[in-house]
C-alpha cells in the first residue's frame, strides 16, 4: 500500500472510523449536487424521515438537462422543467445554496466549484457524477458517487469507501504547439487501458504537469474515470494557490488563505512517498490525439494508422471490431480527413476560458465549413460572460459557430443538443460511447479544443498544426 502520498494524507485527515464491513467512513468536505442524480436521493431521505445533515457543505447547480438555447421558464421540454422544479424545491427546503441560471454563477458542476473557490486543496469532494475527478486538479480528493451514496452523504455528510492503490503517472517533456493536456490524458488512457485504473487513484506528476495551468490539470483529472480510476489528482503548488487567491471565496476571506496555505503545503506527497505503481510518459513525443473508436482508450496520433483489431491484445479485439464497424473506419487509415457533420466545443473537460481562447485563435477570420453545424457551449455563465467581454463570442459567431448558454449539452445528449442519425461529431468532450451524444448511430471523435476548431473549419478531422493561429488582440 501507498504511504506518504497526498491521497494517504487527505484520506487519514477525513477518516471518521472503520465500519464493520471493513470500509472506512470518510467525512465529505464538499458535496456538489445537480438535477439528474439527486432527486431520488432526496426522495430516499424523505422516506426515512431524515434531514440534510450539512446544507452548508452542499452546493447545487443545474447542468445536465438545462437547455442551452432558450432558457425561459417553464422549459419547453416538460421532463426538464419537472427535474429543475424538483431540484429547486429540494434545495429550498434544505437550505442549500444553488447556483441557478438567474444567479450568473450557473454552469457545469465541475466548472463552477473551482470558479467559486469552494473546490480547495485537501478537501474531500463528492458528486453524483463520474467526472467529479476533475476537482483533483487542485489537490482535492474527489470522486463520483451513485444516488444511494448521495443519500448517505446528504444524511450524514460522510461516505463509506475502501482505500485504493495509488499509481504515480510521471509526465515529462515539452508539449509541441497544438498538443494539449487533453492529448496527454487520451494517451494515458490509450496506454493503460479503460480498465487499467480500476482499484487505483492516479497521481499526475512531473514537469509537464507542473507547467500546466489549472485548466489543463482539470482536463487531465477530469478523464481519470475514462481510464478506470475513480479519482486523480495533482499536488497543489503556486499555480494552484494563485488560482485560489483569485476566487470569490478567498477574495472575501483573505485571512483564510494564509491560514490554509500551510495545510495545503502539508498534504503534498512526500519526496520519499511509496506508490503501488509508477508509470512514466514522455509527452514531448505526442502528436494531437484523436479517437477512432467508441471508447476513450481507442486513441491515436492524428497521422497514425488505425490499428488492426488482430494486432491488439486479445481482450481488446472484439471491442475494436465493433468500434470500427460503428465508426466506419478501416485499419491502416488515419483519422486525418474523416468527414464531420458537427463540431462541439464544450463539456466539463474543455469548456473553460483558456480552451475557448485557444480555439478562437484558430477560428478567427475563417469560416465554418458549409455542411458543418458548429457550436460553442461555455462551461459556465462566468466563462460565457468573460468570453463575451474578451470578444470571443464575436469571433465564433462571425465564423459561423452558434454561441450557447452554459450546460453539459451535447456531451451526453440530455437536452435538445443531440446528434441526429449517423452524424459524425468532432467533440472536445470526454466520451465517444455509442449513443452518448444522443443518437445511437452517431459517431463521436474526441479531440482537444483547437482540433475541434480545425475540424469545424475544414469539415473534416485535420491537424491543427497545419493552420496558422491568429492573434485575438
**Of 60-119, which residues contact other proteins (CB under 8 A)?**
64-65, 77, 79-80, 82-83, 86
Binding to other proteins by residue 257, rule CB under 8 A?
Answer: no
When the beta carbons of 314 and 370 are compared against other proteins, the nearer one is 314
Positions 398 through 437 that interact with other proteins (CB under 8 A): 412-414, 431, 433-436
Positions 122 through 161 that interact with other proteins (CB under 8 A): 122-123, 128-130, 144-149, 151-152, 155-158, 160
What values do phi and psi take at 143, rounded to 5? Answer: -150, 155
Q: Count CB atoms within 10 A of the CB of residue 273.
A: 18
Beta bridge partners of 125: 30, 142
In this structure, are residues 387 and 406 in contact, taking their beta carbons and an 8 Å threshold? no
Q: Count CB atoms within 10 A of the CB of residue 177.
A: 10
Segment near other proteins (CB under 8 A); pick from 32-40, 100-108, 165-173, 355-363: 32-40
What values do phi and psi take at 273, rounded to 5? Answer: -60, 150
Binding to other proteins by residue 43, rule CB under 8 A?
Answer: yes
Least distance (Å) between residue 133 CB and other proteins: 10
Least distance (Å) between residue 230 CB and other proteins: 5
When the beta carbons of 407 and 459 are compared against other proteins, the nearer one is 407
Segment near other proteins (CB under 8 A); pick from 31-39, 212-220, 278-286, 299-307: 31-39
Least distance (Å) between residue 415 CB and other proteins: 9
Binding to other proteins by residue 203, rule CB under 8 A?
Answer: no
In this structure, are residues 166 and 7 in contact, taking their beta carbons and an 8 Å threshold? yes
Q: Count CB atoms within 10 A of the CB of residue 19.
A: 12
Full DSSP string of 17-68: EE-TTSPEEEE-SEEEE-TTTSHHHHHHHHHTT---S-GGGEEEE--SS--S
Least distance (Å) between residue 422 CB and other proteins: 11
**Total residues binding other proteins (CB under 8 A):** 78
When the beta carbons of 177 and 441 are compared against other proteins, the nearer one is 441
d(CA 312, CA 66): 40
Least distance (Å) between residue 54 CB and other proteins: 8
When the beta carbons of 101 and 122 are compared against other proteins, the nearer one is 122
d(CA 20, CA 365): 64
Positions 213 through 242 that interact with other proteins (CB under 8 A): 225-226, 228, 230
When the beta carbons of 400 and 442 are compared against other proteins, the nearer one is 442
Segment near other proteins (CB under 8 A); pick from 195-203, 235-243, 331-339, 464-472: 195-203
Least distance (Å) between residue 123 CB and other proteins: 6
Least distance (Å) between residue 219 CB and other proteins: 18
Q: Round to the nearest angstrom and report the end-to-end CA distance of the chain.
A: 51
Beta bridge partners of 33: 60
Binding to other proteins by residue 6, rule CB under 8 A?
Answer: no
Positions 281 through 340 that interact with other proteins (CB under 8 A): 295, 297, 315-316, 318-319, 322
In this structure, are residues 390 and 472 in contact, taking their beta carbons and an 8 Å threshold? yes
Binding to other proteins by residue 195, rule CB under 8 A?
Answer: yes
Cα distances (Å, whole numbers) of residue 227 to 133, 152, 190: 11, 26, 8
When the beta carbons of 147 and 172 are compared against other proteins, the nearer one is 147
Binding to other proteins by residue 178, rule CB under 8 A?
Answer: no
In this structure, are residues 62 and 380 in contact, taking their beta carbons and an 8 Å threshold? no
Listed in sequence order, the residues at least 6 apart from 272 whose beta carbon sits closer than 8 Å to its beta carbon are: 4
Cell of 199: 482499484
d(CA 192, CA 437): 25
Characterize the bridge pairing of strands 231-234 and 299-301: unpaired
Least distance (Å) between residue 298 CB and other proteins: 10
Cell of 270: 512526500
Binding to other proteins by residue 50, rule CB under 8 A?
Answer: yes
Amino acid at each position: 500500500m501507498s504511504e506518504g502520498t497526498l491521497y494517504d494524507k487527505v484520506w487519514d485527515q477525513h477518516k471518521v472510523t472503520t465500519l464493520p464491513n471493513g470500509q472506512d467512513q470518510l467525512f465529505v468536505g464538499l458535496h456538489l449536487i445537480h438535477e439528474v442524480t439527486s432527486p431520488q436521493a432526496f426522495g430516499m431521505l424523505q422516506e426515512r424521515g431524515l434531514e440534510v445533515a450539512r446544507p452548508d457543505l452542499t452546493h447545487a447547480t443545474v447542468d445536465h438537462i438545462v437547455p442551452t438555447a432558450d432558457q425561459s421558464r417553464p422549459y419547453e421540454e416538460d421532463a426538464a422543467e419537472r427535474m429543475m422544479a424538483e431540484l429547486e424545491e429540494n434545495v429550498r427546503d434544505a437550505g442549500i445554496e444553488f447556483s441557478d441560471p438567474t444567479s450568473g454563477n450557473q454552469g457545469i458542476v465541475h466548472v463552477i466549484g473551482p470558479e467559486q473557490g469552494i473546490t480547495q486543496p485537501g478537501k474531500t469532494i463528492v458528486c453524483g457524477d463520474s467526472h467529479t475527478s476533475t476537482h483533483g486538479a487542485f489537490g482535492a480528493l474527489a470522486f463520483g458517487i451513485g444516488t444511494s451514496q448521495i443519500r448517505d452523504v446528504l444524511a450524514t455528510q460522510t461516505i463509506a469507501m475502501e482505500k485504493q492503490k495509488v499509481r504515480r503517472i510521471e509526465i515529462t517533456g515539452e508539449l509541441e504547439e497544438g498538443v494539449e493536456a487533453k492529448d496527454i490524458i487520451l494517451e494515458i488512457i490509450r496506454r493503460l487501458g479503460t480498465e487499467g485504473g480500476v482499484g487505483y487513484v492516479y497521481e499526475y506528476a512531473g514537469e509537464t504537469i507542473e507547467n500546466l495551468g489549472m485548466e489543463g490539470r482539470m482536463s487531465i483529472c477530469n478523464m481519470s474515470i475514462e481510464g478506470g480510476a475513480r479519482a486523480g489528482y495533482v499536488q497543489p503548488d503556486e499555480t494552484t494557490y494563485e488560482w485560489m487567491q483569485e476566487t470569490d471565496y478567498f477574495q472575501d476571506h483573505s485571512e483564510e488563505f494564509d491560514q490554509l496555505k500551510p495545510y495545503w503545503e502539508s498534504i503534498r506527497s512526500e519526496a520519499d512517498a511509496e506508490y503501488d505503481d509508477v508509470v512514466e510518459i514522455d509527452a514531448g513525443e505526442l502528436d494531437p490525439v484523436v479517437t477512432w473508436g467508441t471508447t476513450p482508450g481507442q486513441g491515436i496520433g492524428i497521422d497514425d494508422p488505425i490499428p488492426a483489431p488482430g494486432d491488439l491484445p486479445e481482450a481488446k479485439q472484439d471491442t475494436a471490431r465493433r468500434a470500427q464497424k460503428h465508426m466506419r473506419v478501416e485499419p491502416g487509415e488515419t483519422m486525418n480527413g474523416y468527414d464531420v457533420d458537427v463540431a462541439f466545443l464544450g463539456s466539463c473537460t474543455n469548456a473553460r476560458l483558456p480552451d475557448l481562447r485557444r480555439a478562437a485563435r484558430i477560428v478567427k477570420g475563417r469560416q465554418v465549413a458549409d455542411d458543418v453545424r458548429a457550436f460553442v457551449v461555455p462551461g459556465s455563465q462566468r466563462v460565457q460572460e468573460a468570453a463575451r467581454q474578451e470578444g470571443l463570442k464575436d469571433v465564433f459567431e462571425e465564423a459561423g459557430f452558434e454561441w450557447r448558454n452554459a450546460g453539459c449539452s451535447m456531451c451526453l445528449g440530455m437536452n435538445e443538443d443531440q446528434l441526429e442519425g449517423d452524424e459524425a461529431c468532432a467533440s472536445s468532450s470526454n466520451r465517444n460511447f455509442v449513443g452518448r451524444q444522443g443518437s445511437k448511430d452517431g459517431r463521436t471523435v474526441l479531440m482537444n479544443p483547437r482540433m475541434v476548431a480545425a475540424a469545424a473549419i475544414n469539415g473534416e478531422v485535420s491537424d491543427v498544426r497545419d493552420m496558422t493561429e491568429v492573434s485575438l488582440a
